[in-house]
Amino acid sequence: MLTLSKESRPIVEATLPVVGEHIGAIAERFYQHMFGEHPELLDGLFNRGNQAEGTQQQALAGSVALFASALVHHPEALPHHLLSRIAHKHASLGLRPDQYQVVHDNLLWAVADVLGDAVTPEVAAAWSEVYWVMAFALTQLERGLYSARGVRPEIVYRDWEVTDKVRETDDVVTFRVRRADDRPVRTSLPGQYVSVLVTMPDGTRQPRQYSLTRADDGEHRQFAVKRVRGGEEHGGRPDGEVSTLLHDTVGVGDTLTMSVPFGDVVLDDSGRPLVFCSAGIGITPMAGMLSHLVAAGSHFDVRVLHADRSEATFALRDQVLADVAALPHAQVHLWFEEGVAEDGASGLDADGVHAGLMDLSDLDPPATALPAGAAYHLCGPLPFLRMVRAALLDRGVPPGDIQYEVFGPDLWQADAQAE
Ligand SMILES: Cc1cc2nc3c(=O)[nH]c(=O)nc-3n(C[C@H](O)[C@H](O)[C@H](O)COP(=O)(O)OP(=O)(O)OC[C@H]3O[C@@H](n4cnc5c(N)ncnc54)[C@H](O)[C@@H]3O)c2cc1C
Ligand code: HEM
């Protein structure tokens, strides 16, 4: 069991409230200072979009506060989901154990900078210990992940050749890539993502994660990218840099640098019924899981519940509907915010097509659509995830049966809080 020393524990307990209160400011100062000292970390490792939005700062702050509190109050039950999610993200970026020192030094610098005289040498030593306990837990998990994949951090990425670029909707494009070398293609678990590393026009390399949308065939990988739009309609924010570059400049025959697949939100294959709930581009990991189920000839009971703005924005819909049709015990229910075609003329082969936002009470009868003892997989924007998870909990679904994927740093940490 990972614990704090008997000297540090009371100090961390006594300073938890003050550190917790200022953890957001500490995380902000930490990143500012670290990137000032080590600008190279923004080239090929950190996501500068998340930095600009402040989401990574919040995720780091939340994770350290949660972990420190668990160390003090429940050292026997450290937040496994939280650590696992971070470790998978780190591994997908090829993080090395020796890189933990630089984060330690800058984080402790920021604690002292924000809290001033309150940080005595004893307080600094106690929080340094918190950091190293967390770092130890993460590096152990990361070592296990690399070893299970048969890779080292240095060879997480490799080059792939784009063989197809398929327009799915106005804003979504699928990339199909083929290995460009003789190294074996590591298997992906259904629901996992890859990091794609691209060189931006200013010469800086930027990684982004994309969920795999097809089962493995030993040669190819496939993922779908939604163009992130900026401009006045989106609060004057800039267009997303990597998605725009992939849409506008990467084509068939080009090379893409991509990581081995990682991700802790994977298909529950215990044989229980499966319910997938997605919104918008959140369909991508569900498409990947469905594709794996079809490839495996699965007889599982599967419910696909998907919400989108309209029929025209429903990405991967032909693939998803074909896979549902190919599974002997699968149903699909759809919700379109902008309404549905009159007289059921949409031509969609679904068990139910509803207008508006996803509402589980539209399912008729709900018991059939939400089978008892099911494992739930959710993916979409945070408000959607919150709404669906709350509706499921209201229906008595145990929190441990609900897994969710979020397309950015996890600011919610509902899994960790439920542990
Ligand atoms: C596990 C996981 C799986 C994912 N799977 C998929 C998938 O299957 N398909 C998919 O399309 N996406 C997926 N994503 C999201 C994807 O990784 C990217 O986040 C997405 O493509 C946007 O990247 P971008 O570079 O285009 O946008 P970024 O440039 O990173 O911008 C992101 C946001 O920040 C704003 N921003 C950027 N700079 C500034 C600034 N200076 N000031 C103010 N605002 C700013 C932008 O306007 C935008 O709203 C996934 C993410 C994760 C974590
Ligand atoms: C105890 C130490 C650390 C903690 C607690 C921590 C915590 C986190 C958290 C919470 C996330 C977001 C995960 C998510 O929800 O997707 C993350 C992502 C990340 N971490 Fe760490 N981390 C640690 C060490 C490091 C180190 C040593 C590095 C490298 C120098 C690093 C680099 C990154 C990068 C590049 C990301 C992705 C950032 C993004 O996508 O914006 N981390 N980490």
Ligand 1 site residues (CB inside 6 A) read 49, 52-53, 193, 208-211, 223-226, 228, 230, 237-238, 240-244, 263, 281, 284, 405, 407-408
Ligand 1 atom closest to the Cα of residue 284 is 8
For residue 301, the SS3 value is coil
Q: What is the pLDDT of residues 316-335, one digit of tens each?
A: 999 999 999 999 999 999 99
- Reported as a pLDDT band with limits 50, 70 and 90, residue 345 is low
Give me the mean pLDDT over the 92-117 stretch. 97
Give me the pLDDT at residue 366, please.
64
Task: Give 17's contacts (C-beta < 8 A, 6+ positions apart).
Answer: none
100 annotated active-site: yes
> Residue 207 burial (CB < 10 Å; 0-12/13-18/19+)?
buried
pLDDT at 256 over 70: yes
Residue 93 beta carbon below 6 angstroms from any ligand 2 atom: yes
- Best probe residue, ligand 1, of 177, 193, 198, 208 (max atoms within 8 Å of C-beta): 208
How far the first Cα of the chain sits from its last, in Å, is 17
Which residue segments constitute the domains of the chain, with CATH numbers given?
8-149 (1.10.490.10), 156-259 (2.40.30.10), 274-418 (3.40.50.80)
Residue 300 beta carbon below 6 angstroms from any ligand 2 atom: no
Ligand nearest to the CA of 191: 1
Distance separating alpha carbons of residues 55 and 180, to the nearest angstrom: 34
Q: What is the pLDDT of residues 153-163, one digit of tens each?
A: 999 999 999 99
- Best probe residue, ligand 1, of 89, 189, 210, 405 (max atoms within 8 Å of C-beta): 210
Catalytic one of 129, 142, 241, 311: 142
Q: What is the pLDDT of residues 377-413, one digit of tens each?
A: 999 999 999 999 999 999 999 999 999 999 999 988 7
CB 212 within 8 A of CB 222: yes
Ligand nearest to the CA of 84: 2
Give me the pLDDT at residue 362, please.
87
φ, ψ dihedrals at 26, nearest 5°: -65, -45
Give me the pLDDT at residue 414, please.
78
CA of 49 to the centre of ligand 1 (A): 7
Give me the mean pLDDT over the 352-372 stretch. 84
**Structure tokens given for 396:** 């008595």
210 annotated active-site: no
Give me the pLDDT at residue 310, please.
94
